[in-house]
Amino acid sequence: GAVVSQHPSWVICKSGTSVKIECRSLDFQATTMFWYRQFPKQSLMLMATSNEGSKATYEQGVEKDKFLINHASLTLSTLTVTSAHPEDSSFYICSARDTAGWFFGPGTRLTVL
């Protein structure tokens, strides 16, 4: 299957700082990528749909000014958590679609102190 990478795999930061997470499709081009968040023992929650060359589409309840998404190329989307707070601590996972289906990156575990 297709390979999606994420960087970093984990990050610990202080409250109030910003954190950038990268998502790359390694062997295919993805005009659309998706960002999910998963809290412990809960299912995946779609945060936003990232569209190459245009603005992201955010799900209801997700603050677009807090979670900045940039999809600058067909293989790279970034999620920046701005002014992070402890309640933003979560497992962030990106996903991209190829002809076989949707494939997920390995995830980024964010801990905000």
Partner 1 sequence: QKEVEQNSGPLSVPEGAIASLNCTYSDRGSQSFFWYRQYSGKSPELIMSIYSNGDKEDGRFTAQLNKASQYVSLLIRDSQPSDSATYLCAVNPAGAGSYQLTFGKGTKLSVIP
Question: Which chain residues interact with partner 1 by CB under 8 A?
Answer: 1, 32, 34, 42-44, 46, 49, 91, 93, 95, 97, 100-107, 109
Minimum CB–partner distance for residue 44 and partner 1 (Å): 5
- Give dist(CA 75, CA 109) in Å, integer: 21
What's the rounded Cα separation, in Å, for the pair 78 and 100? 23
- When the beta carbons of 1 and 86 are compared against partner 1, the nearer one is 1
CB closer to partner 1 out of 16 and 106: 106
Question: Which C-beta is closer to partner 1: that of 74 or that of 82?
Answer: 74
CB of 70 to partner 1, least distance (A): 18
Q: How far is the CB of 21 from partner 1 (least distance, A)?
A: 13
Of the two residues 83 and 102, which places its CB atom closer to partner 1 in the complex?
102
State the nearest-atom distance from the C-beta of 43 to partner 1, in Å: 4
- The dihedral over CA atoms of 62, 92, 90, 46, expressed in degrees to the nearest 10, equals 40
User: Is residue 86 helix, strand or coil?
Assistant: helix
Nearest CA among 26, 47, 30, 31 for reference residue 93: 47
What SS3 class is residue 64? coil
